[in-house]
Structure 1
Amino acid sequence: MHRSASRLTRVLACAAVPVILTVAGCSSDSGKGSASEGGTKPSAAASGKPSTKPPAALEKAAFATLPDPCKVLQTKTVETLVPEVKDKNGTAAKSNDLSSRASCSWNGLDEDGLKGSQYRWLSVSLVRYDSHSSLGSANKRAEEQYTKQVETAKATEGAQNVKAEPSGGIGDQATSVVHTMKKDADFFNTTLVVRTHNVVVTLDYNGAAYEGAGAPDPAKLLQDAIAAAKETVASVDTANQQQPAQGQQPSQQPQQ
């Protein structure tokens, strides 16, 4: 009887082994099956696949072209700011893309006998930016250039008594930078940096007196420069209201 009980115990123990192994095997595979078998599917992040979300679209540039730089100011404006101007049509700087970068300048010497002479120099520079996938939106690029131009004006070599301040009522942003400079005479310089949407305008206006003439009035120079800057901004707007001829498209090459 004792021998039969021991044998029965061994048989039951052996019979229980496969059951334990089976349960252990099922629990060890938990969560590893396919989605159809109740398992979990690896996430996109776990698989290491990059996101396919498209980049945000850049805004369209407000201005697609620039006006003729030598015609942004009316002839009477040029003659008022630059008495005895040598060439009222101005001198345009060379550019490989006039729809993106252009400038023009005028100068004149007004001689008044024993009362001396007055010299004036005026320059208008325009730079236009387009939206570019790797460089940013047109307005953002113009804002960056605007800031650089203001800093450049403030850091003019040899400049003395530099004063910079915001100028309201011109474009989207505007700053005036005035200073004096000693050359063969005392030069009084005024620079207006203006951003109108995706175009940056830099207007330089300076004057000097010779042979005993009275020095230029800095306040008057600034007042005249502001008026000229407003006229230039209006010319940019007008140029972009005109529709291009049929079949022609304005150039939109990005500026670095």
Structure 2
Amino acid sequence: MNELVVTLLGLGQGLSVTEVMRWIELLLSFALAQQSLEHLARGDRMIFVPRLVLSLFLALGIGGGWTVWGLWGLGLAMLWRYQGPYNGGSDKMTLLILTCLSLAHLAPDIFWQEMALSYLAVQLVLSYFVSGWIKVINPEWQRGEALRDVFRFSAYPVSEALRSLSDHPRFLLVMGWSVVLFELVFPLALLHPVALKLALLCAAGFHFSNACFFGLNRFFWIWLCAYPALIWFQDRVF
């Protein structure tokens, strides 16, 4: 995992649209394959067998746009099957990435491909900023009570020992405000390529810690899939 993150953040400037799309497809193929295998372990094969096959095609570069469109169609089928994005934000981000990739493959020229990737990059920035804004206006986050309640009452923590953190209010207050401030200032990282890569490294670490503490592994992988678009966008626009 560490090697993957370092390689991704070490991408050089001047990436072409085609290279960015390929990076996103490679990362997305891994994330979707992982999700599909989780479902297959529970016996849900109607959607996730073809999704796994298409994920392998995507990794191998087989089918081009048709593979992406097939995965996008299965994403819509999942919305119907589970009556919405049952896994919350990670499912929404998955469909957003697939939609932008689908539009990029349909685009008649490079301008519209760039528009599709730019939209993905902007939405990624907003995903952090809006999350921070919602927290900063929430009195429970202001007082540090939100994280306390997460560790004390949530069913997510994978270890009961983690619940003891709820007994350290000052620590949780500092950690909560650190998350809020990072999310709010995240857009400023676009002003310099080094700052952006450092911000993405911190963001990846944040998602990885959530995966370890709360089992939210899908958020780590699917948000990582969109990072190449933001690295390209920063170099293209700023």
Q: Classify the TM-score, shorter chain.
A: under 0.3
Instruction: Determine which structure has greater relative contact order: mean sequence separation of CA pairs < 8 Å that are 6+ residues apart, divided by chain length.
Output: 2
Normalized per residue, the structure richer in helix is 2
Q: TM-score, normalised by structure 1?
A: 0.26
Query: In terms of Rg, which structure is larger?
Result: 1
